[in-house]
Structure 1
Amino acid sequence: MIVVKLSQQDIRRYNGYIWKFFISCFLLVVLLIVGTYFGIFGPLPSFRDLENPKSNQASEIISSDKQTLGTYYVENRSNVTYKEISPNVIHALVATEDERFYEHSGIDFRRQFTILFLNIFKSQGGSTITQQLAKNLFTEHPSRNKIVRFTQKMKEWITAVNLERRYTKEEIITMYLNKVDFGAYNTFGIKSAARTYFNTTPDKLTPDQAAMLIAMINGPGYYSPINHPDRLLNRRNYVVLTQMAKLGYLSEGQLAEFKSKPLGLHFNRITHNDGPAPYFRAVLKREVQKILQDESIVRADGTSYDLDRDGLKIYTTINYTMQQYAEEAQAEYMRQLQVQFNDHWKGYSLYKSIKNFKLLLDQGMHRSDRYKADTLQGMSADEIKKDFNTPTKVDLFTWKGDTTMTMKPIDSIVYSKLLLRNSMMSMDPTTGYIKAWVGGINFEHFKYDQVKYGTRQVGSTAKPFTYSVAIDNGYSPCLKVDNVPVEIDIPGQPPYSPRQSQSDLQPGAITLRTALAFSQNYVTAWVMKQVGPVPVMNQIKKMGITSEVGPYPSICLGSFNASVFDMTGAYSVFANHGIWTEPTFILRIEDKKGNVLYTHRPRVTQAMNEQTAYVMTYMLKGVIENGTGSRLTYKYGIRNPVGGKTGTTQDNSDGWFIGITPQLVTGVWTGCEDRDIHFRSTRLGEGANTALPIFAGFMKRVYANESLGIKKNVDFDPPKSPLTVTLDCSAYDQQEQGQNPASDVDKKLGF
């Protein structure tokens, strides 16, 4: 071994070289930092950017009872405040990612050079929480090029220091946890993660749950609890929980306890279809976008709001609990009704028994996604037909849950056509606030909303409109009319003369109240003949029906189409002293900082005389007491003050029931997608069988929950002025003895 003895002069010279090297490196880093600060590697985030960091934040739909109905998002992210995050999450994050977080000012110089080399040469983490936040907020695509990544790191250092100067430690942690990616199915931020993996909220996360979520941060795919649970469990136990114990956040006993626990997932795959009120949320999105455009509501810089990215908060009138009850009531009864329908058609040839059945299938085929895909591929008509007749795996909706079956695609269309559809809406008649909205039977399979956008023939639910015009013009509900066929002349056309099922006929002279209670067509037509179609049409329009209604005698029996939305709103006039209050489902819209962008003010009009409205509630109660809606009492046990009207259209294509109480008005419709497919008997197809039971199931649930404030034994308030109409038919008969009340009214009306 050769030993070289250095002189003192050589040692001083070599020490000088070493010092020069380190000083040069230090100066180079300083120059690079200064250069980065002045933008030689590109602009840094401005003060405005730091105050308003860009983040794809989901817009949140909030119920009237302050629960989240759902979100609109590109990234499934909803922000929370620091107080809404469990300390367990904070402790797990600090212990694992940055144990000196509360001591540094954005950069931890004790480990900075180590971190620099790890990031540049090994692509491993090690930055402070603030640096990670800077990267997440302002470095959209970290480069794999080592030189470019170094310049990005310089920017992140400076940005981290600026973040520390402008925000508190609590704000930085909150921003970080609201931004971070938690992997599965587009889950961003601690709020979405808590809901997705544990079906809870961030403030309720236990130490082991918090540790699992923080363990995922460095590699949500690699440490996926779905695909790689063993990896995640190991990291949770021996990295996160161990670090929490090391820093004193857990005792040794707690460490052992939490290590012994399984991951304990309560996994909820969250998509736009999940959660309550999916039909309502789809309609709401269109309405909010329309409001933002029509009202010219824009950001401060003049650009349009993006509902999927800007974190708006939409406060709605929907009551979360009532919505659940409505969906439960629908599912409970429609499951039974579908069995009735299937049994009813068992053994029958659909092609022979259902009018235009082949045409309906052709229409269904042409509207299907499979047909559109085949067409785009350039397939001929014969090839498409062959494809639809070749068995394959098909996803189907059933009331027992979704299933996959091997069948011909054309047979899946037959299956879909024979599925009964249903929709319902419930609202407060005084405020107009909609409390529950069920637009269909399954949003994933059948996305068309049948509450607001779908219109169907309303049948006998239109009869109260005609009776209300008569009552308003002096007719009494106790007036007796011979229940015999009636003809109404129409200029240039054959007379209008409706039919009446003889099995349902109430023979002889009956009161108007009895005629409405038992839905008698002859007497209703007689009333229409007295008052005329134009006043009835005008009354219908005053009550909020927006679809086309012509001045024809047949509108007295509901020959026109209308939506559940409009019909429910119209019936609210009866329960609200003759006042129509616009059905309302949006209260206000706020930006992500809580600034109010829009407040809805419903339109209110006096659509009917207050006394007329009260008399109509009396007549509608007759439907429930002993008329077509009486099964609400004898079968479902609802005996409190309730009015309502059943409706059944021609060939039993549509079944309706609209029920009114002083605090809730609820409309229900049931039918198939195509009107030619329906029950073959009125006994099964009438609204009393297809719609009323869902109303009953909903109201029984509502009444049972006293916290909702819907009182069972409250009756409709009488008019403020003394009632001028006699509701006691015995007293009425005595008053009118020896007179012809009908002719007296005719004179009054000028007939």
Structure 2
Amino acid sequence: MATKKASAKDKKRSLGRHIRTFWKIFAGLILLIVLMFLMASWGVFGSLPDETSLENPEKNLATEIISSDGKTIGKFYKENRTPVPYDSLPDHLINALIATEDVRFYDHSGIDGRGTLRAIAFLGSKGGASTISQQLAKLFFTEQVSRNKFQRGLQKVKEWIIATRLERRYTKEEIITMYFNEYDFVNQAVGIESAANIYFDKPPSQLSTIESATLVGMFKNASLYNPIRNPEGVKNRRNVVLAQMEKYDYISEKVKDSLQALPLNIEFTPQGHDEGSATYFREYARHFMENWIKEHPKSDGSKYNIYQDGLKVYVTIDSKMQLHAENAVKTHMANLQAVFDKQNKGNKTAPFRDITEKETEGIINSAMRKSDRWREMKKQGKEEEEIIESFKKAIPMRVFSWQGDIDTIMTPLDSIRYHKSFLQAAMMSMTPQTGEVKAWVGGIDYKHYKYDMVKKGRRQIGSTFKPFVYATAIDQMHMSPCDTLPNTLYTIPAGKHNLLKPWAPKNSGGSYGGMVSLKNALANSINTITARLIDRVGPEPVIDLVKKMGANTENIPAVPSIALGTADLSVYEMVGAYSTFANEGVYIEPILIQRIEDKNGTVLYQNVPKTRDVISDETAYVTTSLMEGVTQSGTGTRLRGNWAVNSPFYKEVMTGYPYDFKNPIAGKTGTTQNNSDGWFMGMVPNLVTGVWVGGDDRATHFRSTRYGQGATMALPIWGMYMKSCYADKDLNVSTDGFKRPSNLTIETNCAVWKDKDADKEEIPDEFDF
């Protein structure tokens, strides 16, 4: 008996020891965990953010380019992030996040105790325990997730500490907002604002329930659930989110079932620097900003960073008009290129014409030495012989086509010739009364052709220069559109107006005879009449007028042949100059950047228009009246009616025809020697638009004027653009007549006749200086 009692006491003491040992171990573990948290908070395992950084977490905020109609048309960024406020997040987006990532978000203080115990008990097989606050902490402050289990454990401890601090300092709404603004949705979509626009082409506030579920599904692993690379996986993940929303009563079962059956409907709208709308203009804006920040430092003396400081650049571009312009250029140029390629079949020097093999080789070699490949190899210290040989070796590359980029294998030399075979285009549209540029298309494809032909490119302008000659004559001699001059060969002798030899320009088609009014002469672009006018006024006053209208005239010689368009000017200069006519004789320097704000909305820059009086309102109106004759009877009549709708030629090259405009339009076509450059300048009272079309090199051109004139190459782009603008009633493009001055003393009501060769542009074919 005594032995049994002793044994029971021993067992009891042993049990007591085990219990005490358990509680000691348990208490030790608790103390160890507490100590670990304390040590982590003290920075023993690596620094934690201080109070200031918690309240102001550092971010790389994208600079936004915002159009005049409030659309973000581009960004400059290191990370494509633009923060949005909580009010801009729709309820179903927030509900999808809560239901999927942290259903007890509003009940915990950063750490979900129940979820943590569940994760420990089931070793994560029934879901993790990471709260939204912890995930935000991980995004904000911890390094890349470590694969080492011990280091990952320490990172987790840091996340818990930071999560609790975040909960103390921010409201639940602020934490949700920061999480949406911080997450990287891949494909250059950092934050919900970029993600909504890139994947669905809309702001977050307009996301539907199904679109919200798609984006929330990406929080699990954006690289894996990438809508572009893994659409099937994304759809499955989206359906899981919808099921979670139904589980927690955010949507009904019926709604869930109907939404799960729908396709993803991704509308991928990349925001890379080479992609999207207004690419050439955005590059102009980037250069503007880089120059601006050099001269406008912050209050502390440091410089703004356009890739990180979240500036807002408000520009004059209208997003709708920009799209209309880009669509017009793309549609016509693809069609025109097909005609050009057809004409080049059998041309041994294609895409060049009227040059020798040696001249062709010179063009290719010059382009080779200006290429990025050449510059890069030079930086690497390569010898010229080695560089040249590299241009002769076939390599994989991606080249441009109007059907989409093509992956192919060719030599860099062949690719130079290939890309030079494409005709180029440029276009700018501006409100003449304000100087605001509404559309800017610098080329056919920014990714492959980065040279901006709107402002940087200067090309011979042909007969679009003639209105400046007429305006000078009207201003100096009070001439009327109804005044007549003889349409006969006219010679300006050597020694006059700086001429080294006599100059006697000819009319295209050899059409001479009779007396011709100024209105008919400009409408039908008669060279001999223009020659008579510049002989009367002299070239210097014409150059002075063009200079006052904003053009760089340094390289324009003071000789009579400039009257026929020998000068090289840019689309930017031409639109600014023509706007002077539409704006009653007042020149306004084109405006592109309206104002700049910092991320807090403080205005840092406000544009102040630069204007000057150039000619009287009477001279401006009379010159405009002359140009109206171009579209009433002359090279611009293709804009009127549909009289040639069944013509095989019109069907082939006049993209978008018939245009059938009824309203007053002033304009002028222009064509240069060998059909190298085609222009059309078109004006209505509140919109002036210039279009240029031509090759990279002047040797790239059509074989005949019928195809190579401005009325064929450039005018259709203007026609399609304006048809789209008129169809969009929100744009309020004028259909009224031009404002008539109250003090008008010059007769403008003259009849115009249509020359039998009016369909052909007059070419300045004799440029003797």
TM-score class normalised by the smaller sequence:
0.7 to 0.9
Match of 1:735 in 2: none
| 1:726 is aligned to 2:747 | yes
Matched to 2:454, the amino acid is V
Match of 2:290 in 1: 289
Structure 2 CA distance for partners of 1:446 and 1:105, relative to 1, 3 Å: same
Matched to 1:295, the amino acid is H
Residue 348 of structure 1 and its aligned partner are, at CA, apart by 2.8
User: Hey, what's the Cα distance between the residues in 2 that align with 1:606 and 1:339?
Assistant: 45
Instruction: Verify the 8 A CA contact 1:421 1:440 in the aligned structure 2.
Output: yes
| 1:487 is aligned to 2:492 | yes
Q: How do 1:586-735 residues align onto structure 2 when only pairs under 5 Å count?
A: 586-635=593-642, 636-712=659-735, 714-719=736-741, 721-728=742-749
Residue 433 of structure 1 and its aligned partner are, at CA, apart by 0.8
| Structure 1 residues 183-230: Cα deviation after superposition (integer angstroms, max 9, x where no partner) | 3x2332223333344444433434443333222222222334444455
User: Hey, what's the Cα distance between the residues in 2 that align with 1:589 and 1:514?
Assistant: 48
Matched to 1:100, the amino acid is R
Structure 2 CA distance for partners of 1:248 and 1:722, relative to 1, 3 Å: same
User: Hey, what's the Cα distance between the residues in 2 that align with 1:364 and 1:684?
Assistant: 27
Match of 1:437 in 2: 440
| Structure 1 residues 415-453: Cα deviation after superposition (integer angstroms, max 9, x where no partner) | 322211111011100011111111111112111111111
Q: How do 1:41-190 residues align onto structure 2 when only pairs under 5 Å count?
A: 41-112=45-116, 126-183=129-186, 185-190=187-192
Matched to 2:549, the amino acid is M
Structure 2 CA distance for partners of 1:258 and 1:643, relative to 1, 3 Å: closer
Matched to 1:672, the amino acid is G
**Greater displacement, 151-160 / 91-100:** 151-160
**Greater displacement, 673-682 / 378-387:** 378-387
User: Hey, what's the Cα distance between the residues in 2 that align with 1:662 and 1:528?
Assistant: 28
**Greater displacement, 443-452 / 666-675:** 443-452
Structure 2 CA distance for partners of 1:225 and 1:666, relative to 1, 3 Å: closer
Match of 1:194 in 2: 196
User: Hey, what's the Cα distance between the residues in 2 that align with 1:424 and 1:267?
Assistant: 26
Q: In structure 1, which of residues 458, 461, 464 is the aligned counterpart of residue 461 of structure 2?
A: 458
Instruction: Verify the 8 A CA contact 2:498 2:558 in the aligned structure 1.
Output: no
User: Hey, what's the Cα distance between the residues in 2 that align with 1:352 and 1:400?
Assistant: 25
Residue 618 of structure 1 and its aligned partner are, at CA, apart by 1.0
**Greater displacement, 55-64 / 647-656:** 55-64
Matched to 1:638, the amino acid is F
Residue 376 of structure 1 and its aligned partner are, at CA, apart by 7.4
Residue 21 of structure 1 and its aligned partner are, at CA, apart by 3.7
Residue 134 of structure 1 and its aligned partner are, at CA, apart by 1.7
Q: How do 1:531-610 residues align onto structure 2 when only pairs under 5 Å count?
A: 531-546=537-552, 548-553=554-559, 554-610=561-617
Q: In structure 1, which of residues 192, 200, 203 is the aligned counterpart of residue 205 of structure 2?
A: 203
Q: How do 1:490-505 residues align onto structure 2 when only pairs under 5 Å count?
A: 490=496, 494-495=500-501, 497-503=503-509, 505=511
Matched to 1:254, the amino acid is V
User: Hey, what's the Cα distance between the residues in 2 that align with 1:235 and 1:404?
Assistant: 33
| 1:349 is aligned to 2:348 | yes
Residue 657 of structure 1 and its aligned partner are, at CA, apart by 0.9
Instruction: Verify the 8 A CA contact 2:472 2:541 in the aligned structure 1.
Output: yes
User: Hey, what's the Cα distance between the residues in 2 that align with 1:137 and 1:108?
Assistant: 19
| Structure 1 residues 494-519: Cα deviation after superposition (integer angstroms, max 9, x where no partner) | 14515223416453332333322222
Residue 477 of structure 2 aligns to a residue whose secondary structure is coil
Instruction: Verify the 8 A CA contact 2:185 2:191 in the aligned structure 1.
Output: yes
User: Hey, what's the Cα distance between the residues in 1 that align with 2:518 and 2:715?
Assistant: 23
Structure 2 CA distance for partners of 1:166 and 1:681, relative to 1, 3 Å: same
User: Hey, what's the Cα distance between the residues in 2 that align with 1:293 and 1:20?
Assistant: 66
Q: How do 1:466-485 residues align onto structure 2 when only pairs under 5 Å count?
A: 466-477=469-480, 478-483=482-487, 484-485=489-490
Residue 23 of structure 1 and its aligned partner are, at CA, apart by 3.7
Residue 561 of structure 1 and its aligned partner are, at CA, apart by 1.4
User: Hey, what's the Cα distance between the residues in 1 that align with 2:171 and 2:10?
Assistant: 55
Q: In structure 2, which of residues 521, 534, 542 is the aligned counterpart of residue 515 of structure 1?
A: 521
User: Hey, what's the Cα distance between the residues in 1 that align with 2:637 and 2:605?
Assistant: 44
Instruction: Verify the 8 A CA contact 2:427 2:440 in the aligned structure 1.
Output: yes
Residue 494 of structure 1 aligns to a residue whose secondary structure is coil
User: Hey, what's the Cα distance between the residues in 1 that align with 2:457 and 2:287?
Assistant: 15
Query: Which runs of 5 or more residues in structure 2 are unaligned?
Result: 1-6, 643-658, 752-769
User: Hey, what's the Cα distance between the residues in 2 that align with 1:515 and 1:125?
Assistant: 82
Q: In structure 1, which of residues 336, 350, 358 is the aligned counterpart of residue 361 of structure 2?
A: 358
User: Hey, what's the Cα distance between the residues in 1 that align with 2:564 and 2:725?
Assistant: 31
User: Hey, what's the Cα distance between the residues in 1 that align with 2:122 and 2:502?
Assistant: 88
User: Hey, what's the Cα distance between the residues in 1 that align with 2:625 and 2:510?
Assistant: 22
Residue 155 of structure 1 and its aligned partner are, at CA, apart by 3.8
User: Hey, what's the Cα distance between the residues in 2 that align with 1:5 and 1:254?
Assistant: 67
Residue 176 of structure 1 and its aligned partner are, at CA, apart by 0.4
Residue 616 of structure 1 aligns to a residue whose secondary structure is helix
Match of 2:758 in 1: none
Instruction: Verify the 8 A CA contact 2:74 2:271 in the aligned structure 1.
Output: no
| 1:399 is aligned to 2:428 | no
| 1:338 is aligned to 2:337 | yes
| Structure 1 residues 48-95: Cα deviation after superposition (integer angstroms, max 9, x where no partner) | 323332223332222211222122223333332223223222112112
User: Hey, what's the Cα distance between the residues in 1 that align with 2:713 and 2:229?
Assistant: 45
**Greater displacement, 6-15 / 697-706:** 6-15
Instruction: Verify the 8 A CA contact 2:497 2:539 in the aligned structure 1.
Output: no
Aligned length: 721
User: Hey, what's the Cα distance between the residues in 1 that align with 2:532 and 2:710?
Assistant: 23
Matched to 1:685, the amino acid is G
Match of 1:733 in 2: none
| Structure 1 residues 470-508: Cα deviation after superposition (integer angstroms, max 9, x where no partner) | 211233123322333231535775145152234164533
Cα RMSD of the aligned pairs, angstroms, is 3.2
User: Hey, what's the Cα distance between the residues in 1 that align with 2:370 and 2:381?
Assistant: 17
User: Hey, what's the Cα distance between the residues in 2 that align with 1:234 and 1:670?
Assistant: 49
Instruction: Verify the 8 A CA contact 1:537 1:549 in the aligned structure 2.
Output: no
Instruction: Verify the 8 A CA contact 1:344 1:679 in the aligned structure 2.
Output: yes
Query: Which runs of 5 or more residues in structure 1 are unaligned?
Result: 731-751
Instruction: Verify the 8 A CA contact 1:548 1:560 in the aligned structure 2.
Output: no
User: Hey, what's the Cα distance between the residues in 2 that align with 1:560 and 1:646?
Assistant: 15
Residue 633 of structure 1 and its aligned partner are, at CA, apart by 1.9
| 1:524 is aligned to 2:530 | yes
User: Hey, what's the Cα distance between the residues in 2 that align with 1:162 and 1:594?
Assistant: 29
Residue 425 of structure 1 aligns to a residue whose secondary structure is strand
| 1:320 is aligned to 2:319 | yes
**Greater displacement, 435-444 / 506-515:** 506-515
Structure 2 CA distance for partners of 1:517 and 1:173, relative to 1, 3 Å: same
Residue 360 of structure 1 and its aligned partner are, at CA, apart by 1.2
User: Hey, what's the Cα distance between the residues in 2 that align with 1:212 and 1:701?
Assistant: 34
User: Hey, what's the Cα distance between the residues in 2 that align with 1:417 and 1:88?
Assistant: 51
Percent sequence identity over matched residues?
A: 44
Structure 2 CA distance for partners of 1:579 and 1:230, relative to 1, 3 Å: closer
Match of 2:646 in 1: none
Structure 2 CA distance for partners of 1:303 and 1:715, relative to 1, 3 Å: same
TM-score (norm. length: structure 2): 0.86
Instruction: Verify the 8 A CA contact 2:353 2:700 in the aligned structure 1.
Output: no
